[in-house]
Amino acid sequence: MDQQVFNQTSSITPGETLSSSTNTAISYAGFWRRFLAALIDGIFMGILSGLLGFAFGSDFIIGYALNLIVGVIYVGVFDSSMLMGTPGKALVGIVVVRDSNYEKLSFKTAVIRYLLKSLSALILFIGYLIQPFTRKRQTLHDLITETVVIRKDIGDINYFKAFKENFRAIIN
Rg (CA), the chain: 16
Give the mean pLDDT of 47-55: 90
- In terms of C-beta distances under 8 Å and separation of at least 24 residues, what long-range contacts does 18-24 make, across chains too? 18/100, 18/101
What end-to-end distance do the CA atoms of the chain give, in Å?
Answer: 46
Cα–Cα distance, 120 to 116 (Å, whole number): 7
CA distances from 51 to 16, 43, 64, 152 (A): 41, 12, 13, 32
**Structure confidence by residue, pLDDT tens digits, 130-157:** 999 999 999 999 999 999 999 998 777 7
Cα–Cα distance, 96 to 83 (Å, whole number): 9
pTM, 2 dp: 0.81
Q: Is pLDDT above 70 for 17?
A: no
